[in-house]
Chains A and B, each alone.
Chain A
Amino acid sequence: MLEIKDLTIRYGNFLAVNSVSISVGKGQITALIGPNGAGKSSIVRAIGGLNSFESGHLSFLNENLSNVKPHLRIVKGLSIVPEGRGLFPRMSVEENLMMGAYSLQNKALFQDLMDRNFALFPILKERRHQLVGTMSGGQQQMVAVAVGLMSDPRLCIFDEPSLGLAPIVIEQIGEALISLKKQELTVFLVEQNASLTTKVADEIYVLSAGEVKFHDTPANLMNNKEVLETFLSA
């Protein structure tokens, strides 16, 4: 569904990402983990068109993303929940969800998507009129996930959803991701927290200092001492 081939990103002379190749299969949860500063967010920003990149090839549903204007990529079904959640603090939960559906072609789906999100995160229904800026980190993350789903995407990319969240909230996010997989949504999860990813992901890439060091299933990675070592002291 999403192919990244030899992606290289440079800020001035700072090499952030060094010829990284990742492919995200349909209906799967593919994860990319690595400590912060490893270049994960640069990859997500390049996919979203927020960053230019030096070389490499990005294709979504085998269409070259470079030919698609950044604000039209969501119409193709690619929804990104960026690092820092990408919310509108001085708007209510409901208005944030409406912005999530800004690019929705078939407006009839709107209410159905809202109901599905309220089912996924019941708390959002009670607090639909509350300003998002006044909510806790965990609640904001739920709104961010819901906003990502409001455009009825084929692929949803989550950039560090666990950032700054308490462990129990991270569990809830994990459960939500698993239930999304059951609804055949393809997910590309970019994370720093290894425990969340190993529980939900089907395939994991480990990134360190801008280069993919490992690519394996969670089971093999668990008992691979070397991964742990590189990851902890990467």
Chain B
Amino acid sequence: MNQPGAIPLLSVKDLTLRFGGLYALNKINFEMHANESLGMIGPNGSGKSSFVNVLTGHFKPFSGEMQFAGQSMLGKSAHQLVGLGLCRTYQAVRVFGNLSVQRNIDTARLFFAEEGITEHQYAQYLDWLKLTPVLGKTAKDITLFEQRKLELMMRLVLKPKLIMLDEPVGGLATSEVSEMIQLLHELKAYSSVFVIEHTMRVIKELADRVVVLIAGEKIADGPPSQILSNQRVIKEYLGSAHA
């Protein structure tokens, strides 16, 4: 799968996050390589969103080391991490609702100003995401699916190495979910993907490896098929011995 000596795209060692006495994250360890796509699942309150917030500079970790493409991420704020190539989306779709779709994209392109993506790439992404017809509309007036695609477009123009997707299919109608999963497959060609979900449906089709988080601790890490049959996961997930 990946050359043993290669520097991991993302490596997390003993990552711990504490709020008062409560451990939101307790000694999380894992690595991810550029050509892999990773998933993370966990029930409500398992620490998934805290994990994303720590990795993308919104929270400061209590202890532990985080490396992105070989560079330490400690002490870096969210906008600096974008410079390294690490972007994220939010669980609830988040766009500049009052601005037009075009202005939303232009705002994201501000980051690189001159040495951003080429016009060719820009047109290619736009066409692939089928956003051209809605460029003139105000962002809050387009469908949720189009808003999700706009979020992807705004990340792609940042030339990301890794995009952390927080529940990318949340709120979509069942037909749109399969279309989004297909899009996310194709997205892998442009950037590594890290998908956070509270169920396996999306992850088992996208991720090569899945990390399971429960009550702030990593209890499993392996391919989706292995996770689905892992007794501890089923037990923790479905409540007392039921399966």
Contact = CB atoms under 8 A, between A and B. Distances in A.
Contact of A37 (B143, B198, B238): B198
A12 B144 contact: yes
A13 B144 contact: yes
B243 interface: yes
A37 B237 contact: no
B44 A163 contact: yes
A192 B44 contact: yes
B234 A232 contact: yes
A15 B173 contact: yes
A18 B198 CA distance: 21
A194 B236 CA distance: 12
B242 A233 contact: no
Contacts of B151: none
B174 interface: yes
Given A13-B143, A37-B170, A232 B198 contact: no
Contact of B238 (A36, A170, A195, A211): A195
Interface string B161-204: 00000010011011001000000000000000000001111001
B144 A195 contact: no
Interface string A151-188: 00000000000111001001000000000000000000
B205 to A, nearest CB: 10
Interface in B128-185: 140, 142-144, 147, 167, 170-171, 173-174, 177
A65 B170 CA distance: 29
B240 interface: yes
Q: How large is the interface on A (under 10, 10 to 19, 20 to 34, 35 or more residues)?
A: 20 to 34
A37 B167 contact: yes
Contact of A198 (B167, B177, B242): B242
B45 interface: yes
A217 B45 CA distance: 30
Nearest to B203: A233
A162 B234 CA distance: 17
A48 interface: no
B239 A164 contact: no
Q: How large is the interface on B (under 10, 10 to 19, 20 to 34, 35 or more residues)?
A: 20 to 34
B185 to A, nearest CB: 17
B239 A16 contact: no
A82 to B, nearest CB: 15
A14 B238 contact: no
Contacts of B171: 14-16, 37
Given A36-B198, A162-B239, A209 B174 contact: yes
A209 B167 CA distance: 13
Contacts of B177: 209
Contacts of B143: 13
Interface in A121-173: 162-164, 167, 170
A195 B44 contact: no
B162 to A, nearest CB: 24
16 contacts: A12-B140, A15-B144, A15-B171, A18-B173, A35-B199, A37-B167, A162-B239, A192-B44, A194-B238, A195-B238, A195-B242, A209-B173, A231-B238, A232-B234, A233-B199, A233-B200
Interface of A: 12-16, 18, 35-37, 162-164, 167, 170, 192-196, 198, 209, 211, 228, 231-234
Given A192-B43, A233-B228, 19 more contacts: A12-B140, A12-B144, A13-B147, A14-B93, A36-B43, A36-B198, A162-B239, A163-B44, A163-B45, A167-B239, A194-B242, A195-B240, A195-B241, A195-B242, A209-B177, A232-B238, A233-B199, A233-B200, A234-B199
